[in-house]
Amino acid sequence: MNEDIFNASLRGFLKKVGITSQREIEKAVRDAIEAGKLKGNEKLPAEMTLTLGGTELKLVIDGEIELA
């Protein structure tokens, strides 16, 4: 395995995950507020599952996103 290639690829993937996830969460929250489903002062439970093909990795990360 080439560590430099692996690390660069991994960083690129994580950057994509972070940017895409943030955009989608922001859109979902704005849409829910506009639809009256959220007031804008909630704390929302969040969960993300990470899997990696060819391995047994399945990691669930949970947390909370505060709106106010």
State the amino acid at position 54 in one-letter form: G
- In sequence order, which residues have a C-beta less than 8 Å from that of residue 19 and are 6 or more positions away? none
The pLDDT tens digits of the residues spanning 10-49 come to 999 999 999 999 999 999 999 999 999 999 999 999 999 9
- In sequence order, which residues have a C-beta less than 8 Å from that of residue 49 and are 6 or more positions away? 58, 59, 60, 61
Apex 19 CA angle, 44 and 38, nearest 5: 25
Q: What is the pLDDT of residue 44?
A: 98
Q: What is the pLDDT of residue 10?
A: 98
Q: What is the pLDDT of residue 12?
A: 98
Q: What is the pLDDT of residue 67?
A: 98
